[in-house]
Structure 1
Amino acid sequence: MVFKEATFHGKQPEIEVEFVNHAALEIAAAEALATAGDIDASDVQVTSDADDIVLTGTVATVGEIERATAIVQAVQGVHDVRNQILLG
């Protein structure tokens, strides 16, 4: 077997300086919602978009929508929360 040195056509690949585990961020945000009081987040979906968390789904009150944003914003590593939760 012959191994050739890797070539990049004159351009070195870009390597991210900091790697963030987006799945871990989603899990942390979802667990924070599941264990928080004053909110039924059973119909809320949590996804990440870079360091931002996107919340979708439904809750019963406007207060729960606001509470979901506050809970997820407090999770370490979350940059911003895009709350798209609807009243259901």
Structure 2
Amino acid sequence: MVFKERTFYGEPPEGTVPPDQADLETRVANCLATVDGLDASDVSVVSKGNTILLAGTVATAVEATRAEDAARSIAGVAEVVNRIAVS
């Protein structure tokens, strides 16, 4: 049996997707899930580089502010774009 090294269009597969992007989204989403006074079940988190986009709906403007503050508190987040609507 012959084993070939894995490649993706000639590049190692680990080099095709930034390793920290999914990790950053996960860390922000986990943080939002644990914030007191925030129901983030309808909030989505998307990262592009070190920028986090928050979208979805919450019940009050205070919750939207809490979500943004929580996202900013995560190491590696440079900017937060808050597009959370209040229902």
* 1:78 is aligned to 2:58: no
Say which SS state the counterpart of residue 66 (structure 1) adopts. Answer: helix
Q: Deviations over 1:22-66 (max 9, x none)?
A: 000000000000011110000000000110100000000000011
Match of 1:5 in 2: none
Match of 1:37 in 2: 36
* 1:55 is aligned to 2:37: no
Question: What percent identity do the matched residue pairs reach?
Answer: 41
Superposition deviation, residue 21 in structure 1: 0.9
Moved over 3 A (4+): none
Superposition deviation, residue 67 in structure 1: 0.6
- Aligned letter for 1:59? V
* 1:65 is aligned to 2:64: yes
Separation in 2 of the partners of 1:26 and 1:72? 10
Say which SS state the counterpart of residue 74 (structure 2) adopts. Answer: coil
Runs of 5+ unmatched residues, structure 1: 1-18
CA RMSD of aligned residues (A): 1.4
Match of 2:22 in 1: 23
Superposition deviation, residue 20 in structure 1: 5.5
Paired residue total: 71
**Structure 2-normalised TM-score?**
0.77
Runs of 5+ unmatched residues, structure 2: 1-17
Separation in 1 of the partners of 2:62 and 2:69? 11
